[in-house]
Chain A
Amino acid sequence: MEGKTPGFDIGAGQIPGELHLAAGQEAAAVGVCHHLRDYDTVTAPHRLHHIAIAKGVDLNRMTAEIFGRETGLCSGKGGHMHIFDMDVGFAASEIMTEGCPPAVGAALTAKKRNEDNVAVAYIGEGALDQGAFLESLNFASVHDLPVVFVVEDNDWAISMPKDRITAPRDGSKRADGFDMTGDRVDHDDVVAVYEAAGEAVGRARDGNGPTLLEVQVHRRMCHFMGDPQTYRSKGDQTAHRKRDSIERLAEDLRAFDIGDEELEALRDRGPRSCQGGDRVGPKNNRSPSRRLLTRTCSPTHPRE
C-alpha cells in the first residue's frame, strides 16, 4: 500500500493497476498443477499468481514483473495481470476465458505431434457464461483433446454472486452438454483437489479426452486491491476468511505427526524462494523509449 494512501490511488505506489490477489484459492492451483510437468501448458485469467507459483514460474522474475522492472518475465510490459513464462508453459490473459482457446490449441498441437502434453485452462466461475469457454469445451470434446478446464468457484464475480448470473449452480454440469467428463470438488481442500485432478490430468495424458473440473475456493480478500467490497456482507467476508485451505492442510499434516517446527520451516520456504521487491532488479528510471517500441512483432527467424 506504500504510496497509495491516505486516499487510495490505484495508479500510485510500487504496484499500480488492478492487482488481483488469490488468497483462499491456493488449493485449486496446487492440487492441479502438482500433476503437471514443465512442458504442459497452463493458461490463467486475471487472478493468476497462485497458479503461476504452482506451475513453477520463475518467482524472482515474476516479482520483478509485478514491480514493472526491466528484469521481469515480460520486461515490465505485461505487468501482474499478464504474466508469461514460456520455460514452464505458462501464459495469462485478463480478458475472461480468452485463455481457453489457446489451451485447446496447445492440446491440439500435442495430439498432432503424438506427444503426451496436457493443457490446463483456468477460469473463474464468473466466466462460465462466456462464449470462448463454451466454444472451447465443444472443440476439445469433439476432437478428444488433452485439456483440463478448471473452474475456480469463489462464489463471486466482482460484486455479482454466482446464483444471480449463472445457471446451474454446479458449473461442472456444463460438461454434460458437450458429452465430456465433469466433476466438482465441493470443499476447499488441496488433497481432494489433487485426487480429482489426478483423474482428469491422467485421462488427458492417456489420450482419453478433456475434463471440466470445478473447485470450490474462497475469496478471502477484495476483488482487486482498492475494491472496498461495499456490496459484500461482513458475514460473508468473515466466512471466506475463515476457510483457509492452508490451515486445513496444516491440520491434516499435524495428524501425521508433523510438528509446528516443521510446519514453520515449510511456510518459510515460500518467501525465501523469492528475493522480494527491492532486490529483483533496478527500477525503470531511465528513458525507456528504445525498448518500448520493440517486440510488437517477433524477432524473425528464417525457416530452416
Chain B
Amino acid sequence: MNGTDRVSIDTADVWPEDAEDDERLVVNWFVSKGSQVEAGNSICEFQVERVDVDVPSPVAGTIDPIVLEENAAFERGDTLAYISHE
C-alpha cells in the first residue's frame, strides 16, 4: 500500500472503565476529513453518562474518513474514524 497504513480509531480503546451505560454520542469533532494530526492531538469528544470524553489521536497521519459524525450514537467497538499514516 505504498508504505501508507490505515488505522481505525476504535471506540473500545477509549471506553471509560467504570461506565455502566451503553449509549454514547459523538459531541464534537475538532478535525475534519483530510486534517493532518499528530499523535496525541485531541481529535474529538463523545459523551458517556453525561461526561465528555476526549479522544486523542493514536498516531500521526491524515484523517480519512470520519465514520461517526457529530450527534451519531454508537456502541463499544464502533470505529470513529480512520487515519492514514506513513
Contact = CB atoms under 8 A, between A and B. Distances in A.
Interface secondary structure of B, over-half rule = strand
Interface of B: 18, 23-25, 27, 47, 49-51, 71, 73
A144 B73 CA distance: 60
Query: Among the interface residues B18, B23, B25, B50, which one has the most CB atoms of the partner chain A within 10 A?
Result: B50
B38 to A, nearest CB: 27
A7 interface: yes
Contacts, number: 19
Given A5-B23, A234-B18, 12 more contacts: A6-B24, A6-B25, A6-B73, A7-B27, A7-B47, A7-B71, A7-B73, A8-B47, A8-B50, A228-B50, A228-B51, A230-B51
Nearest to B47: A7
Contacts of A206: none
A252 interface: no
A227 B73 contact: no
Interface string A204-238: 00000000000000000000001110100010000
B25 A227 contact: no
B23 A6 contact: yes
B51 A7 contact: no
Nearest to B71: A7
A228 B18 CA distance: 13
A154 to B, nearest CB: 20
Interface of A: 5-8, 226-228, 230, 234
List the 7 shortest-distance A-B pairs measured between CB atoms, nearest first: A7-B25, A6-B23, A228-B50, A8-B50, A228-B51, A6-B73, A7-B47
Interface secondary structure of A, over-half rule = loop
Contacts of B73: 6-7
Given A6-B73, A7-B71, A227 B50 contact: yes
Contacts of A8: 47, 50
A230 B73 CA distance: 22
Contacts of A228: 49-51
A79 to B, nearest CB: 21
16 contacts: A5-B23, A6-B23, A6-B73, A7-B25, A7-B27, A7-B47, A7-B71, A7-B73, A8-B47, A226-B50, A227-B50, A228-B49, A228-B50, A228-B51, A230-B51, A234-B18
Contacts of A230: 51
Contacts of A7: 25, 27, 47, 71, 73
A234 B17 CA distance: 13
Contacts of A5: 23
A230 B71 CA distance: 23
A246 B66 CA distance: 51
Contacts of A227: 50
Contacts of B25: 6-7
A5 B71 CA distance: 11
A8 B73 CA distance: 12
A228 to B, nearest CB: 4
Contacts of B71: 7
A7 B24 CA distance: 7
Nearest to A4: B50
B72 to A, nearest CB: 10
